[in-house]
Chains A and B, each alone.
Chain A
Amino acid sequence: MVDLIKRAKELIESSSVKVVIGYEQGTGNKTRALFVENSEDADKLIFDSRCIQNLAAYITKKEIKEKGKMAVAATLPVMRSIIQLASEFQVTDANILVLGITPESKLIEFGNLAEVEKFVHQYEIEIDVRNKEMLDKLEKMTQPERWQFWIDELAPCFKCYACRAACPMCYCSRCTVDFNQPQWIPVPSTELGNLEWHIMRAIHLTGRCIDCDACYNACPLSIPINLLTKRMLLDAKEHFGGYQPALKGEHLMSTYKPDDKENFIQ
C-alpha cells in the first residue's frame, strides 16, 4: 500500500488531519489498528486480506475523537459503517476523510461523504455462501430445534461484550445492559441473561448492521452471533425492500408509516 503510506504522510505533514487510522502488522500472524500521528509512523501502514477489523469502531471512541479530524483507511464494510454513522449524526464531513480501499485493493480518496455513499451504493450487501447455507439450515429447523440451537450456541457466552465493543454501531455511551434502574436485561451470563442480551443486540442492529462480521470475529469463543444479524438483514430485505446505509436514510426500526403492513402481528 505505497499509495496509502504516501497519502497518509501528506495528510499528516500538511495538518489536513490529525490522525490516520489504518492497519499495521500485529503480533503472530495478526494485523491490528494503527493510529498514525506523525509521518514516520505511516511507514508501518499495511493492507492485505488479513485486515478485516472494522476500523469504524474507533470513529466514535472518545480517545480518538479528541485528537481532531481523522482519515480512515476504509474497506467497503468500513465505508458502509461510516455512512450509517453519518446518518445517525455520529460523524460529518468536518471530522472525517475517507481513504477508500476498493474490493480490488485500489486506493480511492473521497472528497466528501456523499461520494462515499455513491461508491458504497454500487455494491449490494450480500451474505456469503457459507453463512447463507447455515441460515437456510436454521430456517428448515422446527421452532423447538432452532430454540435449542441458540440455547446451546449461546451457552458459553460469558458476556465480555467484545461483540459490542467491536461493532461500529454499538456506540451508545450507556448500553441497555448497563442500566440497573430499571434493569432491562439480566446481568448474569446465564441462559436467560445471554438470550436476552443477544436478542436485544440483534434487534437494536436491525436496519443498521452492515454485515461486517466484526462481532463474530471479536468473539473470543467464536459464537456465531452474526447469524442473528444476518437473519435480520434478510428479513429487512424481505419486508422493507432491502437495506443500504444512506446519509439521509430512513431508519428501518424507528420509522413509522401509516401504510406499513402489520402482517407480522398475529
Chain B
Amino acid sequence: MNIDKRLVRKDSLEKLFDILKQNSKKIYAPSEKNGKITFRDAENFKGISTGYIQTTQSSKDITFPRAEKILDYSKSKEGMSVKGIDLKEIPEIILWGVRPCDANGIGELSSIFNWDYKDEIYNNRLSKVTVFGFSCNKSDEYCFCTSVGGNPGNTLGSDILFTRMGDDGDYLAEILTEKGNVIVSIAPQLFEKSENSEKEKYLAEVPVRFNHEEIKNKLDKFFESKEWIEQSLRCLGCGACAYVCPTCACFDIQDEAHGKKGSRVRCWDSCGFSHFTIHTSGHNPRDAQSQRWRQRIMHKFSYMPERLSVYGCTGCGRCSRACPVDMNILENLISIQEVTI
C-alpha cells in the first residue's frame, strides 16, 4: 500500500494545533509537572513538551481510564435500577505526541479488551481517538522497541505519524488511516506535497537486545526456574510498572456506595500486588513476589503471544524508568535468554 506522505513545515505544527482547537477538538498532549511529562488536556501549543524520549505514563489512560465509572445504581422499594454510562458522552480526542511504541501498545491493549468479550466502553473510547504519532529521533538505555518487533518510526497504531527531519527541521507526515485523512481535510494547506519521503536517517538507533521468539520458547520451560527468585528479591511489590505500562490491562471492579445509590467503577489493578490473587479463603496462589514477577513476564512474553498473537510489551522501557528499585525488564529478559535451563 502506498502511504500518503506530506510535508508539514515546523511552524505549521502550531497552526495545526490552533486550527484543531478552533474546530473544538479536544487535544491531549504531553506536558510537564514536577519534572514528569505526561498526557494532559492541552490548552495551548506552548505548553506541549518536546524533546522527551518517553512520557512517564503511557497514553492508555485515555482509552482505559485509571478509575472509570461503568454504571450508576439506586435501590428503592420498587427494586434496583441500573443505568449504564452514556457512550455518546465520550469525547472525541486527539492524542498528540504519542511515541511509536505507545501507538503500537494501543493494538496490544485492544486485543485484551476484545479477546472474547468485546468491551463496549473501551472500544467506544478508542473509536473516538485520533493518534498523532511522533517518531523517535533519540532513545536511551531503557528503550528496546526493536527487540519486540517495533521500531522508532513504526507506523502501527498511529493515524498520522510525524517524523522530524533533523533537529530543527520540518516534519514528514504519513497519513495512515481515514481518521488521519479527516485531520488533513480540516487543514489541507498545512499538509504540503512532500518531495522527501525518506525518514530512516532521522530515526533513533535502537539496537536489538534479545530475540523475543527465543524468549517465548524459553519461557515454556522456565516456570520453575530459580531465576525468578533472584530477579525479584529487590522488588517491593508496588504497581508502578503496571500503571505506567501501555499494555497492562488488569482491573478491579469497585462499588462506590453512598447510601442507597452508588456507582460501579473499573479501577486499574496490578499483578505485582500481594493481594491481587488472594482468595476469599485467605489462600494466595501467588504468595511470594517471585511468583508475581514471573506472572508479569510470562503474561507479556508467553501467555499473550499464545492466546492473542501479540506480545504484551512494546519495549517503551517505562517500567524500568519508573521502578523505584531498578527492576529493569530489559536486563531481566536478557538474563532469561542467557541462562541455561
Contacts and interface: CB of A to CB of B under 8 A. Distances in A.
B267 A188 contact: yes
Contacts, number: 112
A162 B289 contact: no
Interface string A99-116: 000000000000000000
Contacts of B242: 160
A189 B67 contact: yes
Given A32-B326, A33-B325, A161-B239, A221 B234 contact: no
Contacts of A159: 66, 239, 268
B328 A187 contact: no
Given A165-B238, A220-B322, A188 B254 contact: yes
A187 B254 contact: yes
B265 A188 contact: yes
B326 A30 contact: yes
B283 interface: no
Contacts of A219: 324
A193 B322 CA distance: 22
Given A158-B66, A178-B275, A189 B325 contact: no
B324 A166 contact: yes
Interface in B181-218: none
B61 to A, nearest CB: 8
Interface stretch (A2-10, A57-65, A130-138, A251-259): A57-65
Contact of A221 (B34, B252, B290): B34
A160 B237 CA distance: 9
Interface in B220-250: 229, 232-234, 236-240, 242-244
Size bin of chain A's contact surface: 35 or more
Contact-residue size bin, chain B (C-beta under 8 Å from the other chain):
35 or more
Identify which of B38, B66, B324 gathers the most chain A CB atoms within 10 Å of its CB: B324
B324 A162 contact: yes
Nearest to A28: B141
Given A165-B324, A222-B35, 20 more contacts: A27-B331, A30-B326, A32-B326, A35-B234, A63-B233, A63-B288, A156-B38, A159-B239, A159-B268, A160-B243, A162-B238, A164-B238, A174-B275, A178-B275, A186-B256, A187-B254, A187-B267, A189-B67, A220-B244, A224-B34
Interface of B: 33-36, 38, 56-57, 66-67, 140-142, 229, 232-234, 236-240, 242-244, 252, 254, 256, 265, 267-268, 270, 273, 275, 288-290, 320, 322, 324-326, 328, 330-331
